[in-house]
Chain A
């Protein structure tokens, strides 16, 4: 009783090309997206998306893709420019190793969102899972930003090497009310995490410490939280009116003492 895979239905609504993705395999859907983008289409609306992987994967252009439904794993992985708006949840790995672009998620996300991202922005209105922003990087003017409206699971910003993560904790989970999970920022050696709550030092992982917010931090928060609130229709002033904790690396070389020879040099 196999569920038959279908061909995508394509239509046009104003400047949008509308694709009904119901029952369409990811390979066909993504081929279609690539074709449309190559033909010069810049606005796509994907309806009935449910778990299709790799949407906007490796896409190099400044197009706008609207997704209605659940975006599958590795959404916009290796992406280099597109804006992807998801009216629904995203599965694991959204923004994986992204270089540039924007992902806006109106629902929640699961694990490893923003893994190794080097540039671009991710805004998630709801919660995110484990290992979010893990090994996030930055390079010159590319400083990735990840903003989460709800809470984050364990290992947030683990091995973080750059970029900015902001967790607002506007809604909490019944089973785990903390704003972020355990082993926060373990092995962090670049970048910063802002949590909209006072966080105890003992919740931090190896190599992380907290720091007082400075004027530039407040300016940054005002900008990105302002943008987050604009995107999701919230009152920025209310959201910003809270104590934030800033988590930063103790050192750019967290494991320098680990090896017998490393000490000599």
Chain B
């Protein structure tokens, strides 16, 4: 259900939101207008060291209650209404606010502190989403933000003035939901800390993945299957320290038949990953783009039931559901290809984009 796109400038140079909006518009026949969104990395350089919380409030009461909680838990460096235009296609049903916050120092060991600080923010996000009626955290990373709502992506961009932000990495999504009603929180990208995900398709293993994540302390309350992708990356990569490649093997492992054919020691490694992370495996048709502060990853399901095209120019890496979306914004493409099912396409700052061969 949907269409997605992403751009990463390999040199970290920031681009206005115009290109990603045009990419999104090119795929308009894939959406039904019940959800559109963007995530940009590098948009808040002045507040880069603080967690930028983008929040939706249904009413003033929700805002007051959230602010009480925030004041209790974190230091608010700055907060403001996210500037927005009125657009006729999207009824203004939410108060949209951003907070730049930091966590009070409580831990001495820096490495441990960093990990705990991120867990602390995660806990805060879950508490707001879970306990405060009418409040929703759209994004919670540093120097990044998610702009999303119920509507076509072009209208969402117009409303949030997305073209006025500058980011070195952008992702976008247009939604065509078939599981949950369209609501602002249900639009993509989904975000937790620096992880953002846009998703086309359906995670048919959602129930299994959800229970696995809940056993690891995550709370899946967004009424949508996509959130598990963000949390699984957070768990596997941030918390458990797997590389992106190994995480991809865990999430979209080769078939047993293919693993049997592998030479040792590869076979044992793949077997162990499959056995250990059987409940993390993502099943069903999907193409996802996952981003964090320095990386953009594109990933398909194991039998490629959803489209995904990758391309690179001298400066940028592109991912999209349709080739036309990439051609629309980049004339000087050096390479354009359809990645193999289950192989992650990993684009990192200061690196050549590569398709990791795991299938």
Give Cα A188 to B337, complex, Å. Answer: 28
Q: Which residue of A lies closest to B302 (CB)?
A: A154
B162 contact set on A, CB distance < 8 A: 1
A57 part of interface (Cβ distance < 8 Å): no
Q: Flag if B324 contacts A91 (CB, 8 Å).
A: yes
**Cβ-based interface call for A26 (8 A):** yes
Of the residues B158, B325, B336, B343, contact of A51 by C-beta under 8 Å:
B325
Q: B324 touching A2 by the CB < 8 A rule? A: no
Tell me if B158 and A2 are in contact (CB < 8 A).
Answer: yes
A1 contacts across to B, CB distance below 8 A: 18, 21, 154, 157-158, 162-163
Contact: A153 with B304, CB < 8 Å? yes
Please determine whether A53 and B157 come into contact, CB atoms closer than 8 angstroms: no
Q: Chain B residues near A3 (CB, 8 Å)?
A: 21-22, 25-26, 154
| Residue B323 at the chain A interface, CB threshold 8 Å | yes
Using A3-B25, A70-B327, A173-B337 as known contacts, say yes or no to A111 and B158 having CB atoms under 8 A apart: no
Q: Taking the nearest CB of chain B, how far is it from the CB of A57, in angstroms?
A: 14
Please encode chain B, from 132 to 161, with 1 for each CB lying within 8 Å of some chain A CB and 0 for all others: 000000000000000000000011011000
**Residue B258 lies at the interface, judged by CB distance under 8 Å to chain A:** yes
Q: Complex formed: what's the CA distance from A97 to B252 in Å?
A: 31
Which residues from chain A contact B338 at a C-beta distance below 8 Å?
110-111, 127, 129, 153
Q: Write the B320-349 contact mask toward A (1 if CB under 8 angstroms, else 0).
A: 001111011000000011111101000000
B29 at the interface (CB under 8 A from A): yes
Complex alpha-carbon distance, A73 and B25, angstroms? 16
Judged by DSSP, the binding face of A is loop
**Using Cβ atoms and an 8 Å threshold, which residues of chain B touch A92?**
307
Minimal beta-carbon separation of A1 from chain B (angstroms):
5
Bound Cα distance A70, B336 (Å): 12
Asked if A182 CB lies within 8 Å of chain B CBs, one says yes
Taken residue by residue from 80 to 92, chain A's Cβ proximity to chain B (1 for < 8 Å, 0 otherwise) reads as 0000000001011
Q: A1-B154, A50-B328 are in contact. Are A130 and B341 (CB under 8 A)?
A: yes
Evaluate whether A72 and B154 lie within 8 angstroms (CB atoms) in the complex, with A1-B21, A154-B341, A175-B339 already known: no
Chain B CB within 8 A of A139 CB:
no
Query: B294-338: contact bitstring with A at CB < 8 Å (1 yes, 0 no)?
Result: 000000000110010100000000000011110110000000111
Across the two chains, which residue of chain B brings its CB closest to A54? Answer: B29
A-B contact pairs, 22 of them (CB 8 A): A1-B21, A1-B154, A3-B21, A26-B29, A50-B26, A51-B327, A70-B324, A72-B322, A72-B324, A73-B322, A89-B323, A89-B336, A91-B307, A91-B323, A92-B307, A110-B307, A110-B323, A153-B338, A153-B341, A154-B303, A173-B340, A176-B357
Given contacts A89-B323, A92-B307, 11 further A-B contacts (CB under 8 A): A1-B157, A2-B155, A3-B25, A26-B29, A50-B26, A51-B322, A51-B327, A73-B322, A110-B323, A111-B307, A175-B343
